[in-house]
Amino acid sequence: MGWRRNRKTAAESEAIEVHTQAQEAAATAVDPAKPLLVVEGVERTFQTGGQPLHVLKGIHMELLPRQLVMLRGRSGSGKTTLLNMIGGLDQPSKGTIFFHGMPFHDMSDDQRTKVRRKEIGFIFQAYALMPLLSAYENVELSLRMAGVPGGEWKARVEHCLELVGLAKRMHHRPFELSGGEQQRVAIAKSIAHRPSLLLADEPTAELDSQMAAQIMSVFQTIIRTEQVTICMTTHDPTILEVADHVYEMVDGKFI
Ligand SMILES: Nc1ncnc2c1ncn2[C@@H]1O[C@H](COP(=O)(O)OP(=O)(O)OP(=O)(O)O)[C@@H](O)[C@H]1O
């Protein structure tokens, strides 16, 4: 895609920027029947040692508002690669991705970063918390980084930590919390700036089945209360039943 981006004129970039701002404004008024994200014919090829590696081979999918969607598949099937595209961290070699009507496949890194900061939250397998900061301070940091006005931090941090069931542990640091609790802090952190889409890469992989079930229950709560859509990858067959939709990936394609 690099060559296409380089060839885009200033006027075209500006048009996308204006489009982006308009779409971002529209994004706050979510229509429950309208997809938040539409992926059409997405392919991703990496060049490794001079050889092309076809990792995604024609993906079609959509995410509707307030859905819990799972991408399931064996290691190496391409789940993380797809999640990175959906989150605007990477771009397809072919195909289109529209997020709130914005063409992620055709936007510059800067344009996608702006949308991502406002509209998307990420949760990873390893909790990505700052070890010297308390749960409260970790969540507050994400609001600070998202540019949310300081006057709103306290109420929002407390609300998010309450939602994930950690009201009583706000001032604990990560090492004083269990793995499941740390993952719940990471969830509070990821929703604090009110994204419309939450992407989670193997969020339960490090947890036992009871803690994994707690995480899924927290996901269901935040879909209901924060109106967020969640797309997550998993290997774990025991949690699939809570999904609204499961996409099964084999060798870069859905079956
Ligand atoms: N930047 C890259 N350059 C080259 N190859 C890559 C790159 N990113 C991913 N791959 C390859 O793409 C394939 C799919 O990787 P991906 O991480 O998407 O799989 P996955 O289904 O998420 O696996 P896991 O469940 O183990 O995380 C792998 O063979 C991987 O080595």
Average pLDDT over residues 168-173: 96
First CA to last CA distance, the chain: 27
249 Cα nearest atom in ligand 1: 21
Contacts of 28 (CB under 8 A, 6+ apart): none
Helices (H), strands (E): how many in the chain? 8, 10
Ligand 1: centre distance to CA 78 (Å): 6
Per-residue pLDDT tens over the stretch 27-61: 445 677 789 999 999 999 999 888 999 999 999 99
What is residue 211's three-state secondary structure?
Answer: helix
- Ligand 1: nearest atom to the Cα of 73: 21
Phi, psi of 252 (to 5 degrees): 80, 10
Query: How far, in Å, CA of 179 to CA of 11, rounded?
Result: 49
CA of 237 to the centre of ligand 1 (A): 21
pLDDT at 115: 94
Average pLDDT over residues 147-163: 96
CA distance 136 to 185: 8
pLDDT at position 2: 34
Q: Which amino acids bring their CB within 6 angstroms of ligand 1? A: 46, 48, 53, 55, 73, 75-81
Q: Whose CA is nearest to atom 28 of ligand 1?
A: 76
Q: What is the whole-number distance in angstroms between the Cα of residue 76 and the centre of ligand 1? A: 5
Q: pTM of the predicted model, to two decimals? A: 0.87
> 83 alpha carbon to ligand 1 midpoint, in Å?
11
**pLDDT tens profile 93-116:** 999 999 999 999 999 999 999 999
Q: Where are the alpha helices (DSSP H) in the chain?
A: 2-7, 10-27, 79-86, 109-119, 135-145, 153-163, 179-191, 209-226
Considering only CA atoms, which of 143, 127, 120 is closest in space to residue 198?
120
Cα separation of 30 and 50, whole Å?
44
* Ligand 1 binding pocket mutation candidate from 43, 45, 46 (most atoms within 8 A of CB): 46
Give the pLDDT of residue 226: 94
Are residues 170 and 92 in contact, defined by beta-carbon separation less than 8 angstroms?
no
The domain segmentation of the chain, as residue ranges, is 2-254
Distance CA 106, CA 97 (A): 9
Percent of the chain with pLDDT over 70: 88
Q: Whose CA is nearest to atom 12 of ligand 1?
A: 55
> Measuring from atom 17 of ligand 1, which residue has the nearest CA?
80
**Atom number in ligand 1 closest to CA 53:** 5
| CATH code for the part of the protein at 2-254 | 3.40.50.300
